[in-house]
Every structure is written in C-alpha cells, then in structure tokens.
Homo-oligomer: A and B are copies of this chain.
Amino acid sequence: MVTSRRGSAPPKAAEAPGLRERNKQEKLERIREAARELFASKGFAETTTREIAERAGVGTGTLFLYARTKEELLMLVLAEKVEAVQEERFRTLPTRAPLLEQLLHVFEGFFRLYAKDPALARMFIREALFMEPGPAGERLQLERAFAARLAGLVAAARERGEVAGDVDLEMAGFNFFSLYLTTLMGWLSGALGPGDSWRPVLERSFALQLKGLGPGAGTSGGNRRRRS
C-alpha cells in the first residue's frame, strides 16, 4: 500500500474534494470576495482586473481562468445573491393572497437587492441580458426557469378562479417578467424620476395586464372613470 502521510481521508469517489478541486474552490471564493469588495467601494469601471487579482492573491492571468471577462466577474458577484433572493421570495410567498400581491412580493425582493447599489445592479442587468452564452447556454436557462415559476403563480391563481381558464400560462409568465424587467431598467436608469419609487409603477403596470384593455373587462381593478 502506498504511504499516505495524512491517512485520515482517503479519497472517495462520491465526495472526494481532492487537493486540486479544493484549491480551485478556494481561489474562486477569494476572487469573488475581492471583486465584491472592490466593485462596491470603487465602482465597476474604476476597478481594474489587476487590482482584483492582487487582492485575491492570484496572477493577473489566473483571473481569466475563472471568469472569461471582467463582466463575468460581476456576474460571479451578483448571480449568487439574485438566486438566493429568488428562493427566499418564493419560499415566503403569501400563498393565499391575490395574484397581484404575490407578484409584487416576489419582485420586491429583487428591487430591494438592486437598491443597495443601483449603478452596479445596472451593469449586472446589462450583462445578464446581453452576455454571450457560454459552452452551455446558461443565461437563457435562468430566465426561462424564472418565467416558468411566474407561470406557476398564474396557474395557481387560475385554480382559485382569479384568472380565466383559457389564458396561456407561459405567455402570462413572460408578460409579467417583461413588465418587471422594463420597469426595473427604467428605475435603474433614473427614468422614473430620481429617488422615485418603483412600486406604484409596477403595480399599475401589472394591474393593467390583469385587467386588460377591452371594454368588456371593467370592474376588476376597482375605480372606473366616466367616459368623456
């Protein structure tokens, strides 16, 4: 038998970290942390990749083994948090509340996250929307999965009788996602007026999607106005 100096942990196939893999994970974490700190303190454009490498204690070239571009470093930093927020929001969903309220509950999480550093968030959204898909088409998967979850909310609302039986669930999910995304971009660009709140805008946008434009609809939202 080969002498293994620290015999305590023979590598098992199922969960064999292996020195190599462990080092890689550690390095990735150091890079992530360095990027997070620098982006937060100096901003994205003002941070150089060399700084990040130095702070993470790796060579400048090494950085680009873990992220193909500077923008991917930003993804590394934020994608994690976005996913966490998504999970948390669906976990704490008020399952008995009306659809509109549920949707606002979900999206509020994202707005709150992005509010912490709107400039950085803006860069992140820009990248998330337009990044070239890697070997696997990761980027699209995430959006699709999210739209599907929204469709799930609509499906549940249909069960409750809040929604007509013949609506296309996938399309409904897509539409809500779309309205959210555009509102978010406008908000991050300061187009809603500086410091203005996203909430009433998103709420009215969603309400209009729920109610529709047709003259047949009418009373769903509450206040109707006189025809001129």
Contact = CB atoms under 8 A, between A and B. Distances in A.
A71 to B, nearest CB: 12
16 contacts: A129-B185, A143-B191, A154-B213, A157-B213, A162-B214, A165-B228, A166-B223, A174-B205, A175-B179, A177-B182, A178-B181, A181-B182, A209-B209, A210-B212, A210-B214, A212-B220
A205 B164 contact: no
Contacts of A165: 215, 224-228
Given A144-B191, A212-B212, 8 more contacts: A161-B215, A162-B213, A164-B218, A172-B208, A178-B178, A208-B209, A216-B216, A217-B220
B217 A212 contact: yes
A211 interface: yes
Interface of A: 99, 122, 126, 129-130, 140, 143-144, 154, 157, 161-168, 171-172, 174-175, 177-179, 181-183, 185, 189, 191, 204-205, 208-220, 223-228
A182 B147 CA distance: 12
Contacts of A144: 191
A224 to B, nearest CB: 4
A162 B215 contact: yes
Listed residue (A154, A166, A172, A216) with the most chain B CB atoms within 10 angstroms of its CB: A166
Contacts of A182: 174, 177-178, 181-182
Given A182-B182, A225-B166, A175 B214 contact: no
B205 A175 contact: yes
A175 B203 CA distance: 12
Contact of A175 (B164, B209, B218, B226): B209
A126 B71 CA distance: 14
A44 to B, nearest CB: 12
A185 B126 CA distance: 12
A213 B178 contact: no
Given A175-B209, A226-B165, A217 B214 contact: yes
